[in-house]
Chain A
Amino acid sequence: MTKVKNSNGDFWERNRKSDGYLLKKTALSYFVSIARFILLFGMCFMILQPIFNKISVSFMTLEDLNNPTIISIPENPTTDNYFLAAKLMSYSKGLVNSFVMALAIAVVQISMTTLVGYGFARFEFPFKKFWFACVMLIILIPPQTISTSLFLHFRFFDILGLHKLITGDTINLRGSALPYFLMSFGCMGLKNGLYIYMIRQFFRNIPKELEEAAYVDGCGTLMTFIRIMLPDAKPILTSCFLFSFVWQWTDGYYSKLFLGNIKLLSTELARLVDSLGAFLMRETGTTTTVPVAYSNAIMSTGTLMMILPLIILYLFAQRGFVESLSSSGIKM
């Protein structure tokens, strides 16, 4: 108590000595932190609110949904929505499929883009500018522009007309995961240009002396890359890997185009309402329109179930997402 008083007295005395400057400065800093708190709290709430909303809706029964007095806390909470959504999305199967696909594709994409990014960052070769412009081009081209012909390209797949020459017919690669893996090997997957760009920027900032020392000590090009450069690049590779995994997990576009036959959570979620309608029709035996509120509740539940694994991953790898990219200080 005396200590507080003491320091308080000290404060006023110091304030008087500084002609009120200290008081002004302290008041300002308190004001700033309060304003910042209010602002950040509001914005965080805004981002989190839809998730909270979805959580509360996902526990509601149909009666609760239609009851206008119930806003956020359900009267008779139920987990039926979860079971129904899981059944309609074939959740366990979709979860495994999504996980395997996203993991495999992320690994392929990141290892390929790392090689390419390293090549662009550390070597001088003819036409380098031109090829890098091509990388920028694949970042800029919306996949929709070429999707029509990619679709046909894989429907009537052929390597330089060799297969047709031998068997008289082309290969139909549609409906298998192979085309997408091939594209990933060629760095043409979802947002791969962006990964190349980020990884290149990172490698460019590593001092040249490190590389030269390795060469002098008798390291080959490949060995230098594996033993010297890769361990350094861990933060950027982690963040790119996480981005790749998450975007692959939620991607509906490429999944629908190439992986249509494989049950993935993203594609299942996209047609959840349709399958709900079909399910209700089977159950009741008549064509009924699904109540909007109900289909939305199931939709929210499905969305929650889809992003739940990602949120768990995010909580664990939060530092990887946030800190690594910003603290590695890459210059874009």
Chain B
Amino acid sequence: MKKQKNTLAGLQKRKAISGYIFISPFLIGFMVFMVKPLVQSLYMSFCDVQIAAGVINPVFKKIEQYKFALTVDPNFNRLLVEEFTRMLTNSLAIMVFSFFVSLILNQEFKGRAIVRAIFFLPVILSSGVIIGLETNNSLMAQLQANIQEAASGVSITATLESVLRTAGVGVRAFEEVFKLIDGIYDVAIASGIQIIIFLSGLQTISASMYEAADIEGCTAWESLWKITFPMISSMFLVNWVYTIIDFCMRSDNQVIDKINTVMITDINYGLASAMSWIYFAIVMAFVGITSLLISKGVYYYD
């Protein structure tokens, strides 16, 4: 086996060469724009970077910057924890929401094309600078409050919330759920791509499978769990990873904001690099662990 690999001959060799030619843009780009900055940024996170007259002068300081970020800086820890919980709850909500919506959008009904078009609109609306502007728009919040006030004296959700709160069981969990429900717009707006991915998965399931299940006496609920779920379980993995990554790169992310402030306003490159490496490491660890867990449950048809 090993010998064969070493002496790729004839067609195999030619194919290997053309393969490398095809992916060469990526290789060059990766070498030039990724490896060096990555290593450099890792190195700088261990340094105190001084910039004087256009000359970068990193002074090696061991883990000083990491210590500073985690123990001295008053906000970084708090922001990290806040963003992480927000990421966790929001990602879960996005997964459930997009799965649910894609199930509905996969059915046959009148006006499906229009509804689909509207649901994918967030791909535009939630991208780039727009989402950052959306979050701190006080006028819109005020308008919304006005409309709610005008519409009814008592808000149904508020009443429900207070009823559930007085129940007194699992108040903390309820609080998170309330937060999600109040922010359902954020969830909907962030799940455009996920819906598309789920839909593409749903459409690969052949209808004959459902037919067979139906004839055998399977209810729709059962076939959801026995057919739909396993068949698109690989999409869950893709979507989960994508959702988390997308969340980390959004411009309303406070940790990223903090890093940018440290880098651009305070011109402290070392600290900024250290902070972003801490954040990156946490996210990577989280993605790694969860996707390992999910991939245990993924079912591959072929």
Contacts and interface: CB of A to CB of B under 8 A. Distances in A.
Given A145-B41, A310-B124, A332-B201, A186 B28 contact: yes
A154 B201 CA distance: 41
B107 to A, nearest CB: 7
Given A144-B260, A250-B128, A326-B203, A47 B121 contact: yes
A275 interface: no
Contacts of B21: 119
Given A322-B117, A332-B197, A146 B37 contact: yes
How big is chain A's contact interface, by range?
35 or more
A21 interface: no
Interface residues of B, number: 94
A4 interface: no
Interface stretch (B79-87, B138-146, B160-168): B138-146
Contact of A142 (B20, B32, B184, B280): B280
A40 B34 CA distance: 44
A329 B204 contact: yes
Contact of A296 (B38, B107, B138): B138
Contacts of B8: 126
Contacts of B123: 243, 246, 321
A64 to B, nearest CB: 12
A142 B109 contact: no
Most buried by B among A249, A318, A327: A318
Interface string B272-293: 1100110110011001000000
B170 interface: no
A326 B199 CA distance: 6
Contacts of A126: 5, 8, 16
Given A123-B19, A142-B276, A246-B124, A327 B33 contact: no
A149 B122 CA distance: 32
Contact of B269 (A134, A135, A148): A148
A77 interface: no
Interface in A1-59: 33, 36, 39-40, 43-44, 46-48, 50-51, 53, 57
A51 B40 CA distance: 43
Interface stretch (A81-89, A110-118, A279-287): A110-118
Contacts of A194: 242
Interface string B4-40: 0100100010111111111101111110111011101
Contacts of B249: 142-144, 253
Contacts of A296: 137-140
A150 interface: yes
A36 B101 CA distance: 10
A247 B130 CA distance: 11
B34 A131 contact: no
Contact of B26 (A33, A57, A187, A292): A187
B41 A71 contact: no
Contacts of A310: 124
A297 interface: yes
A39 B277 CA distance: 42
Interface string B145-189: 011001000000000000000000000000000000000110011
B104 A250 contact: no
Contacts of A39: 104
A331 B16 contact: no
B40 A145 contact: no
B22 A43 contact: no
Most buried by A among B5, B26, B109: B26
A307 B30 contact: no
Interface of A: 33, 36, 39-40, 43-44, 46-48, 50-51, 53, 57, 65, 68, 71, 112, 115-116, 118-120, 122-126, 128, 131, 134-135, 137-150, 152-153, 156, 182-183, 185-188, 194, 196, 221, 225, 243, 246-247, 249-253, 266-267, 269-270, 292-293, 296-297, 299-300, 303, 306-307, 310-311, 314, 318, 321-322, 325-332
24 contacts: A40-B104, A112-B26, A115-B22, A126-B8, A128-B19, A134-B34, A143-B249, A146-B34, A146-B41, A148-B44, A148-B276, A156-B56, A187-B26, A188-B30, A188-B33, A243-B123, A252-B128, A252-B129, A252-B251, A292-B139, A296-B140, A314-B121, A321-B120, A327-B203
